[in-house]
Structure 1
Amino acid sequence: MTITLHVCITCRAGVAPQPDQPPPGAQLLAALRARPLPPDLRIQPVECMSACARGAAIALSAPGRWTYVYGHMSPADADQILTGAAAYANAADGIVPWRQRVEIFRKRSLARIPPIG
């Protein structure tokens, strides 16, 4: 089953716009794409996740699974994000036991949304 990692590319993460640099969310997307991806993980850039005060924001989702939204992410978190995404992919319902989650997913969760349908 394909897991989707949504990455807000417009997130400024509290940083004033820099004309010579992409927003922090776009920098996070670039950092994630520069690494090997877990099997069946698709990265989907999105324009806004309405978590502006807590950006850069990401979300993990898949059909029939819980969706998680995380904030305060940066390019330095890319490895942990991908490790956490792999754990999410291996959890049948998307719920990774709290103690088995990567640290940033334990501390930066913004929402857990039940499966639709």
Structure 2
Amino acid sequence: MSTVNCQLSTVIRIHLRLRIKQRRKTMILSDIQKFIAENKRASIADLKIHFRMDGDALRGMLNRLIRKGRISKMTEAKKCGGCSSCADDATEIYVWVNAGESVSEKEPVSATCH
């Protein structure tokens, strides 16, 4: 009987961990959405700094928001004037999609771009 209880307890703990992990992922996804909505645009470099996450993990979540139609990825971000030292992460830009607004091309590319 105790072996069955132990196995059941283990299954319950695993299930709870998975639910907590899923809830965190949902919270982070909504936090990313909120961050981009408030700032109108964000580079992957900005998001990495703000959320303290790996770029590939962020891209997976960003792709989900793109599929939902909440954000879009700028096709080709222009580097800032003349320095040519901006990292690729600083020019990989994601933009909030809102039918009534557009983001100016003249705004700075990223907070991390010089």
Give the TM-score normalised by the residue count of structure 1.
0.25
User: Which one has the bigger helix percentage?
Assistant: 2
Larger CA Rg, structure 1 vs 2:
2
Using the size of structure 2 for normalisation, the TM-score is: 0.26
- Larger strand share, 1 or 2: 1
